[in-house]
Amino acid sequence: MKGYLGIDIGSISTKGVVINEDQKILGSSYLWTKGNPQEAVKELLLELENQVKDMDLEILGVGTTGSARKLIGSMLGANVIKNEITAHAIGTLSIHPDARTIFEIGGQDSKIILLENGIVTDYAMNTLCAAGTGSFLSSQAERLGVKVEDFGSIALSSKHPAKIAARCTVFAESDLVHKMQIGYSKEDIIAGLCKSVVSNYLNNVGKGKKIEEPIIFQGGVSKNIGVKKAFEEETKAEVQVDPNGHLMGALGVAILSSRKPLMKPFNFNITEEEFETKGIECNRCPNHCEIICVRKNKELIDSWGNRCENGMIRK
């Protein structure tokens, strides 16, 4: 049976799927990157291999997306390396072909993708502030002594959500502390945080965008039912959350890899190889490019970052 591997590796989490020719997910994994994308991917591959080892699969395509897509793509010999916008759009449309708007909020970034007739017509990403992301909610959960997984259900129990400043992380944290000090309940503060995430997103990432249904909400924060409810209240529209919404980037790039198969099947034994990355500064011209070198078992397999021939590294 032919299979295809897709990996979406971000600064906070690493996601992976193995699909068959019918785009059905045969195996999936979601784990924390912990600042080490190489080791995170090795751990992810071991999990995926265990899930599909009895399926007699040949992995004939490998795709990577996310902030570390170039690095991990070089490590795995990926045949497709794509940006998150393309990957998320392809993955979402494979399950929701009529989707018009995608809200995506991850650990460190967020994005909005607008679609028409299955084609991306517009998009935007957060560029300055992390107040509307998963890492912000996680840090506030720790401050409040609550598991971030419980945020949604706690928020829904609130009768009078507190107004939390949504302009940036610093203002939001300061306002949260103030609300705690003057006596707001934990439920109202958490509900207010969910609303502030949505307000930040719509006023920054979604500013000036024409939001149309069907709306698909994905990324790790989509599991927070408090944020989902806040989106529905603000947009006055139904917001759908797919059970595999956190895997859409990985699914999309796996689908893309199936359109351009590898010359020979991917081998999961790559987890046993030794990889090393090193950044160097080229001083051969005024550009002073920062060049990243990737070595596999001490042999150079890729490098990038140079803006002219002077910075080409071949060994």
What's residue 188's pLDDT? 92
* Alpha-carbon distances, residue 40 vs 26, 45, 185, 268 (angstroms): 20, 9, 38, 14
What's residue 65's pLDDT? 95
Confidence of residue 146 (pLDDT cuts 50, 70, 90): confident
What's the chain's average pLDDT? Answer: 88
To the nearest whole percent, how much of the chain has pLDDT over 70?
Answer: 96
For residue 162, give every residue at least 6 positions away whose Cβ sits within 8 Å of its Cβ, in sequence order, or none. 179, 184, 188, 189, 191, 192
Over residues 156-166, the pLDDT tens digits come to 988 888 888 76
What's residue 284's pLDDT? 83
Distance CA 166, CA 180 (A): 16
Distance CA 16, CA 62 (A): 11
Q: Where are the domains of the chain?
A: 2-91+250-272, 97-241, 275-311
Distance CA 222, CA 218 (A): 5
Entry pTM: 0.85
Q: Beginning with the edge strand found earlier in the chain, give each strand of the sheet holding 119-125 in spatial order.
A: 119-125, 110-116, 101-105, 215-218, 239-241
- Average pLDDT on 146-165 reads 86
What's residue 314's pLDDT? 62
> Which is more confident, 215 or 260?
215
What's residue 120's pLDDT? 95
- Average pLDDT on 16-29 reads 96
- Average pLDDT on 246-254 reads 95
What's residue 131's pLDDT? 60
What's residue 315's pLDDT? 57
Over residues 108-117, the pLDDT tens digits come to 788 999 999 9
- Other CB atoms closer than 10 Å to residue 231's CB: what's the count? 25
Q: Which of 2, 13, 18, 27 is nearest to 135 (CA)?
A: 13
Least confident piece of the model among 31-45, 102-116, 203-217, 262-276? 262-276
Q: Are 120 and 85 in contact (CB under 8 A)?
A: yes
List 65's β-bridge partners, or say none: 8
- Average pLDDT on 183-204 reads 88
Question: Which token pair is 98?
Answer: 């009529």
> Which is more confident, 84 or 133?
84
Distance CA 9, CA 250 (A): 9
Distance CA 16, CA 14 (A): 7
For residue 35, give every residue at least 6 positions away whose Cβ sits within 8 Å of its Cβ, in sequence order, or none. none
What's residue 304's pLDDT? 73
Q: Are 44 and 29 in contact (CB under 8 A)?
A: yes
To the nearest whole percent, how much of the chain has pLDDT over 90?
Answer: 47
What's residue 119's pLDDT? 94
What's residue 123's pLDDT? 95
CATH class, 97-241 region: alpha beta
- Average pLDDT on 139-148 reads 82
Domain 2-91+250-272 has CATH 3.30.420.40: yes
